[in-house]
Chain A
Amino acid sequence: MSSVTRKGSGRGVASRIWSERWAYLFLLPTLLLFGAYTVWPIISSLYYSMLDWNGLGSERQFIGLANYREAFGDPLFWKSLGITLTIIGVTVPLRVGLSLLVALVLNNPRLPLAKLFRTALFVPAVTTTAIIGIVMGFIFDPSGGPVNQVLLDLGIVDQPIDFLGDPGTSLWTVMGVHMWKWFGITLVYWLAALQTIPTTVYEAARTDGAGSWAALRHVTVPMLKPFLIIIVLLTAIETMQIFDLVLTMTNGGPFFSTLATEVYIYQQAFANSTPRLGYGAALGVLFGLVTLVFAAIQAIGIRYANRARSSS
């Protein structure tokens, strides 16, 4: 009896696939590309992470979890993780908070030139990061760079500041540029969130005698709360991908002061005098797990946000 059922259900699956063949056919390119560029790199990274391999030679020795054991005892890996988390901890709240304030201003339909301001703030987000990194090197140049020139001319400093060459200032400078570069993206998130608040709610609030401040406090902010979680998490995950900016601005230096985890992985896998692709892959997998934690929090956050929105 059961075999008949299995047989019957097997036919059912085959015939279902056949009847939906066009849907599967159209899905095929996506599945192939996703498999080739997402699934396969993940699987191969896991495999490489268990090899002692420089990435080029034919000599590759399977060493199990030795690379992971080494990573747990590698002070530079932990330092780089600390730097990445510091960048997230500092820039995400600032970016989210400041962009909310600017979004509230720009969302005012009576503000003149609002579109121009929006565009101006968004332009850095669509500019190539590597180019920004290189240009910022000139802008913060202690020898004739415009930032130092202004500081000197205004008498704020009497000696130029080596923004990118001093370990005390380099990380802050990179964080500042990163915030400026991606500010427009967070701003767009907030502007989109603000568009979801029905104007009727504001009209009702005004009818009840609410002024601008009261409307902001009792209408806008409560209705934006669910978006806050999503925007914070999206911004945090974006911030983890700071590789190109750091590489072009400081290359992780001076003396590891801006060594974000992605840069450290790159150095180990490709840029060291003795490249170690296997070890770099292990670091990549561990960093992937950290990203995964953020992604899991994001998923939970989205669920919470949806629930909050539907209850409001």
Chain B
Amino acid sequence: MTTFGRRRFFGLSGAALAGALGVAGCTRTSQQEAATAAGGGVIRWWDHFQPLKPLNERIFAEYGKANPGVRVEHEVYNPNEMGQALQLAFKSNQIADVHSIAGLGSSEASLVVGGWFSPLAGQDAIRAKLPADSLLEGLHVFDGKLYSFPIFSARQYTTLNWFNRELVEKAGGDPDNGPATWDEFRSLAARITKDGGGRAYGWIQGLQFHERLQSHVIELATSAGAPLAMAQGDNTMGLVDPRTGEYAYAGEPFVQALEFLLSLVRDKVVFPASTSLDARTARARWATGVAGMFFDGSWSIGVVNGQFKQFIDKVGVGPIPSPDGKPVLYGAPASGQLFVSSQSKHVETASDLLARFTGPEFSKGLATFMDQVPLDLEAVAMAEVHPSYKRAAELFGQTVRLAPSPIARNPAVAQVMSEMKAPRPTLGEITQGILSGELTDIRKALREYNGKLTAERERATRVVSGKGVKVSLDDWKFPNWQPGKDYTAEMYQ
């Protein structure tokens, strides 16, 4: 019988480990070499689009089939962790060939200046497959070179009125379109609540999730006539009145939007637990039939389809309710989602692969996931999706106009926004305060918020321009903007 001494055991274990690592290393290297020798290589791809993983991987497989030797190593990150991973990988020269920029907290312009990206190869072919109004200098194009392109449409909003057709019909509402005006919404909500007898309420919303609540308030105010220019990013610091460049939160449309929401609370038509729900849990409760109406984005039906299939036949969707039933909303120009790294040794292959994320076929494929609507809204009509998703895309096309973007006008505005510290309470928190009765003077709360934002933007502009960057408050003004019309690329000139 063989016995092992301590030294012999450690020696053998070490040798085995080294051997295993060596074999693993050789395997990986030989695979990469084989791929490169076949005229392709390994494209490393990092993004944060978990719901789109099957679509992306189908495209990678198709590309690999058409280009033997090219293989894509795909990794989907949690958006919260991605920024850190990208920073570390970029510094250590190990970043993926293609990646999204979630969590980096920097604008596309500053990342281009920082040398993060490579311009796309085969630019003309990619441009030809994109709608002309989707690309902007300062967002996707820098010094005339294309770096990225949007895959989702700018024409969308998060306050679609999703409703339970059964409850709406029972209460005498229109089961195909839902209510159009705020008054209709209010009275329908009251009737659903009355019919429900304590088991169903008119409206449910995740009121604990103040960031989403804020988006609803902004969109309701816009539907009431608030004019908005929009810098990219999901916060209030980038939204101004394009005619003056000033923040518009103290204006009448915002007061009216908050009064409308407050009227629902006072009418007692809000599902009682809404104050403790976020968007996800509110959607889950809505799908159990405890409430008639629910504000949500186009992805709502995708989630219902995936998680609450038994409810899907009861789902209807209508436009955001507005004071006069004729809402006009604005969408910030959509940013690019994916970039080819400056450290990539496969810029041409990566760009070629990226080009597959354009065009009607891709948009149609994207639509089947019923998440955010694709860049080409018309492709949704051809896709095999739930009718309510088609209706949502149709409503977006009819209602949403392209807003001017201060960042597209001057990319240095992004630096001002990075320098700005969001004042608290935020608009979403103010809304919570008003709905819970903690804040009673709506106008005063909004005036104070507007004042804090204005002061903070002035301070941040001083700091950034003090560093020699050419930026001013005039960058936020768009005198040629016309209400209800698209602000097109030529209008920036």
* A, B assembled together: yes
Closest-CB distance, B426 to chain A (whole angstroms) = 8
Across the interface, do B271 and A143 meet the contact criterion of CB distance under 8 Å?
Answer: yes
Chain A residues positioned under 8 Å from B273 (CB to CB): 141-143, 145, 162, 165
CB-defined contacts of B211 to chain A, threshold 8 Å: 273
Task: Assess A165 versus B275: contact at CB under 8 Å? Given A58-B87, A273-B211.
Answer: yes
B454 contact set on A, CB distance < 8 A: none
- Complex contact A56–B276 (CB within 8 A): no
Chain A stretch 50-88: residues in CB contact (< 8 A) with chain B: 54, 56-58, 76
Check B87 against A164 for contact (C-beta < 8 Å).
no
Q: Mark B385-421, 1 if CB is under 8 A from A, else 0.
A: 0000000000000000000000000000000001011
The docked-state distance in angstroms from the alpha carbon of A42 to that of B487 is 51
A contacts with B: majority SS: loop
Q: Determine the distance from Cα of A137 to Cα of B422 in the docked complex, in whole angstroms.
A: 29
Q: Which of A250, A253, A273 contacts B234 (CB 8 A)?
A: A273
Interface size grouping (class) on chain A = 20 to 34
Interface readout for B265-302 with A: 1 if CB under 8 Å, 0 if not?
A: 00000011111100000000000001000000000000
Q: Flag if B105 contacts A166 (CB, 8 Å).
A: no
| B103 at the A interface (CB under 8 A) | yes
Residues B422 and A273 in contact, CB atoms below 8 Å apart: yes
Q: Please pick, from A143, A250, A255, the residue contacting B429 in the complex, using a CB distance under 8 A.
A: A255
A91 CB contacts on chain B under 8 angstroms: none
The interface residues of chain A lying within 8 Å CB-to-CB of B432 are 253-255
In the complex, B106 has a CB within 8 A of chain A: yes
CB distance from B253 to the nearest CB of A (A): 22
Nearest chain B CB to A264's CB is how many angstroms away? 10
Interface residues on B, range: 35 or more
- Tell me which residues from 212 to 240 in chain B have a Cβ below 8 Å from any Cβ of chain A: 233-235
Q: In the complex the two chains form, what is the Cα distance from A167 to B235 in whole Å?
A: 25
- Minimum CB–CB distance from A155 to chain B (whole Å) comes to 16
Bound together, the chains give a CA A257 to CA B425 distance in angstroms of 13
**Known contacts A256-B425, A274-B421: A56-B84 contact under CB 8 Å:** yes
Interface pair B272/A142, CB less than 8 Å apart:
yes
Query: A276 near B: Cβ within 8 Å?
Result: yes
- Shortest C-beta distance, A248 to chain B (Å), equals 11
A137-B276, A253-B210 given; A274·B422 CB < 8 A: yes
Contact A166 to B436, CB < 8 A, known contacts A143-B273, A255-B425, A274-B421: yes
Closest to B274 in A: A165
In Å, the complex CA distance between A255 and B437 comes to: 10
Which residues of A are found within 8 Å of B421, using beta-carbon distances? 274, 276
B491, CB-defined interface residue at 8 Å: no
Asked if B438 and A56 make an inter-chain contact with CB atoms under 8 angstroms apart, the answer reads no
Chosen A-B contacts, 27 in total, with CB atoms closer than 8 Å, are: A54-B105, A56-B84, A57-B87, A57-B105, A58-B91, A141-B273, A141-B276, A142-B272, A142-B273, A143-B272, A162-B272, A162-B273, A165-B275, A166-B275, A166-B436, A250-B208, A251-B208, A253-B210, A253-B429, A254-B208, A254-B438, A255-B433, A255-B439, A272-B422, A273-B233, A274-B420, A276-B421
Residues of A within 8 A of B (CB): 54, 56-58, 76, 137, 141-143, 145, 160, 162, 164-167, 250-251, 253-257, 272-276
